[in-house]
């Protein structure tokens, strides 16, 4: 003891304390600190991009749920709409939307005069451009539905304003941008300001965005998601009906019955690889097999669902097998012990216990399928569809489109008003995905068993 103390005191240099960093330790600690910061920076970057993306989509898209409308009275003159004066629906159907457009034009101009609103340098054409090109068709349909009460009277109408005016009220179009825009002039925007003050022009909730079918390039204000939502719903229903039984059957076979042989190995390898095949390849498959070879109708929800099912099947099988494997063997042994056959033990005991896990996996698979776009483009679902598909079962063969395809289709169009629609459609899509994921999480929390 004392000799150590002597040795220590005999050293010429005092040993540095462990609490004082020397240069080498300092460098090592700095490296440690830097490494940690890299990790934090990586996480912050990923979360920040996620936030920026969601924010940019929501700020672009939320305005699609509101729409500018014009309110003014229109006289539905009998001698324009119903020249023969007998209110016969079939004869009136010969009057085209052009005549209705003239009525709207007259009505709108009269309203401006009545309210004493006028702006220098606006032609009649500039003023009639305020009314959406969709309005005449709507007025025509309303008139034809009820000729007796409509024709010859003055109706207080609420019609869509055209896309640029809508954009101005929402801040997408400004007086500065209008200078370089051939479709709108600052003078028109001045008129829009005045109309807004007078209460003729206003922005209101727009439920039509959810229910309307798609509209042509000229009428972004009338475009809606009705057909796309219906098409996606049909496809999800069919994918569920096709994927769940086949996926469960395949998983049961592979987990419980399959002998270890070449064929089983082939199936295993195939499932693993199919899960990683790019989705567009499934589109090529669908085009070649279901449309060109089997002759199913293009852009029908049936073909879309077949393609999505093949794509989702590996995911469902992988999830189902995992939850079947999680059921402890003691359950099977107990069933076999009291005289059940292998098949009975699986169907009566293992499968019900694995069901929550299977459903969770299936819902997540469906969520992926709901957002898938590329394969649907190849089977013709990007075509312009403005008729609702019929009710099931015949409706499965009607042309339809899907939510993600509609998003893509609108993003490709020239008018920037369609970008707003596209982002709005993403909000709807994300809403559905959120619901599906919440259901999956609740299912897992509620029914998952730890053995």
Q: Write down the H helix ranges in 67-180.
A: 78-81, 89-92, 97-115, 124-128, 135-145, 147-150, 163-170, 175-179
Task: Check residue 272 for interaction with other proteins (CB under 8 A).
Answer: yes
Residue span binding other proteins (CB under 8 A) among the ranges 154-162, 176-184, 220-228, 339-347:
339-347
Segments of 201-359 assigned E as strands: 201-205
| Rounded CA separation 308/236 (Å) | 9
Nearer to other proteins, 64 or 92 (CB): 64
Task: Check residue 254 for interaction with other proteins (CB under 8 A).
Answer: yes
Task: Check residue 40 for interaction with other proteins (CB under 8 A).
Answer: yes
DSSP of 337-348: HTT--HHHHIII
Task: Check residue 228 for interaction with other proteins (CB under 8 A).
Answer: no
Closest distance between other proteins and the C-beta of residue 98, in Å?
A: 28
| Rounded CA separation 383/406 (Å) | 9
Task: Check residue 430 for interaction with other proteins (CB under 8 A).
Answer: yes
Nearer to other proteins, 81 or 319 (CB): 319
Q: Are 367 and 435 within 8 A, CB to CB? A: no
Residue span binding other proteins (CB under 8 A) among the ranges 90-98, 192-200, 227-235, 371-379:
371-379
What pairs with residue 71 in β-bridges?
158
Site for other proteins, residues 378 to 397, rule: CB under 8 A = 378, 380, 382
Of 324, 360, 316, the residue nearest 345 (C-alpha) = 324
Nearer to other proteins, 128 or 264 (CB): 264
Question: What radius of gyration do the chain's Cα atoms show?
Answer: 33
Task: Check residue 279 for interaction with other proteins (CB under 8 A).
Answer: yes
- Other beta carbons within 10 Å of 427: 16
Closest distance between other proteins and the C-beta of residue 188, in Å?
A: 26
Spell out a b/e string for 72-102, using b for 16 or more CB atoms within 10 Å of the CB, else e.
Answer: bebebbbeebbeeeebeeeebeebebebbbe
Residue span binding other proteins (CB under 8 A) among the ranges 26-34, 147-155, 202-210, 353-361:
26-34
DSSP 174: -
The one among 280, 336, 353, 355 contacting other proteins by CB under 8 A: 280
Task: Check residue 271 for interaction with other proteins (CB under 8 A).
Answer: yes
DSSP 114: H
Residue span binding other proteins (CB under 8 A) among the ranges 74-82, 83-91, 171-179, 248-256:
248-256
Task: Check residue 246 for interaction with other proteins (CB under 8 A).
Answer: yes
Site track for other proteins across 145-164, x = CB under 8 A:
--------------------
| Rounded CA separation 373/364 (Å) | 16
Q: Are 141 and 118 within 8 A, CB to CB? A: no
Residue span binding other proteins (CB under 8 A) among the ranges 11-19, 90-98, 225-233, 250-258:
250-258
Closest distance between other proteins and the C-beta of residue 203, in Å?
A: 22
Nearer to other proteins, 147 or 380 (CB): 380
| Rounded CA separation 77/110 (Å) | 14
H or E element at residue 204? strand 201-205
H or E element at residue 73? strand 66-75
Site track for other proteins across 299-338, x = CB under 8 A:
-----------x--xx--x---------------------
Residue span binding other proteins (CB under 8 A) among the ranges 6-14, 71-79, 135-143, 252-260:
252-260
What pairs with residue 14 in β-bridges?
none
Nearer to other proteins, 195 or 236 (CB): 236
Closest distance between other proteins and the C-beta of residue 267, in Å?
A: 5
Q: With contacts defined by CB under 8 A, how many residues of the chain interact with other proteins?
A: 85
Residue span binding other proteins (CB under 8 A) among the ranges 39-47, 135-143, 162-170, 199-207:
39-47
Backbone angles phi, psi at 321, to 5 degrees: -65, -40
Task: Check residue 426 for interaction with other proteins (CB under 8 A).
Answer: yes
């Amino acid at each position: 003891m004392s000799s150590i103390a002597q040795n220590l005191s005999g050293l010429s240099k005092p040993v540095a304390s462990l609490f004082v960093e020397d240069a080498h330790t300092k460098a090592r600690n700095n490296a440690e600190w830097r490494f940690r910061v890299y990790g934090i920076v990586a996480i912050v970057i990923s979360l920040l991009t996620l936030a920026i993306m969601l924010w940019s989509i929501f700020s672009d898209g939320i305005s699609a749920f509101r729409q500018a409308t014009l309110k003014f009275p229109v006289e539905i003159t009998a001698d324009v709409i119903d020249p023969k004066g007998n209110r016969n629906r079939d004869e009136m159907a010969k009057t085209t939307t052009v005549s209705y457009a003239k009525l709207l034009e007259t009505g709108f101009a009269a309203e401006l005069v009545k309210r004493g609103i006028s702006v220098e340098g606006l032609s009649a054409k500039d003023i009639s451009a305020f009314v959406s090109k969709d309005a005449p068709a709507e007025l025509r349909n309303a008139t034809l539905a009820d000729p007796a009460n409509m024709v010859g009277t003055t109706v207080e109408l609420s019609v869509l304003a055209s896309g640029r005016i809508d954009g101005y009220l929402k801040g997408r179009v400004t007086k500065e941008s209008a200078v370089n825009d051939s479709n709108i002039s600052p003078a028109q925007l001045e008129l829009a300001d005045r109309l807004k003050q007078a209460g003729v022009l206003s922005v209101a909730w727009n439920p039509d965005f959810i229910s309307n079918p798609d509209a042509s390039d000229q009428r972004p204000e009338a475009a809606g998601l009705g057909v796309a939502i219906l098409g996606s719903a049909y496809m999800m229903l069919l994918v569920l009906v096709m994927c769940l039984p086949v996926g469960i059957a395949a998983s049961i076979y592979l987990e419980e019955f399959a002998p270890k042989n070449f064929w089983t190995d082939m199936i295993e390898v195939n499932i693993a690889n199919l899960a990683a095949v790019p989705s567009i390849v499934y589109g090529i498959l669908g085009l070649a097999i279901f449309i060109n070879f089997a002759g199913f109708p293009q852009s029908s929800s049936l073909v879309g669902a077949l393609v999505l099912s093949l794509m989702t099947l590996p995911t469902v099988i992988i999830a189902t097998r995992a939850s079947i494997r999680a059921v402890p063997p003691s359950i099977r042994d107990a069933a076999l012990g009291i005289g059940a056959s292998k098949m009975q033990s699986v169907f009566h005991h293992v499968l019900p216990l694995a069901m929550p896990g299977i459903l969770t996996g299936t819902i997540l698979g469906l969520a992926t399928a709901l957002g898938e776009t590329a394969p649907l483009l190849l089977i013709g679902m990007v075509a312009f569809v403005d008729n609702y598909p019929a009710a099931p079962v015949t409706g499965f063969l009607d042309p339809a489109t899907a939510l993600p395809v509609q998003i893509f289709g609108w993003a490709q169009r020239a008018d920037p008003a369609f970008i707003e629609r596209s982002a709005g459609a993403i909000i709807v899509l994300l809403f559905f995905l959120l619901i599906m994921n919440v259901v999956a999480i609740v299912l897992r929390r509620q029914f998952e068993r730890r053995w």
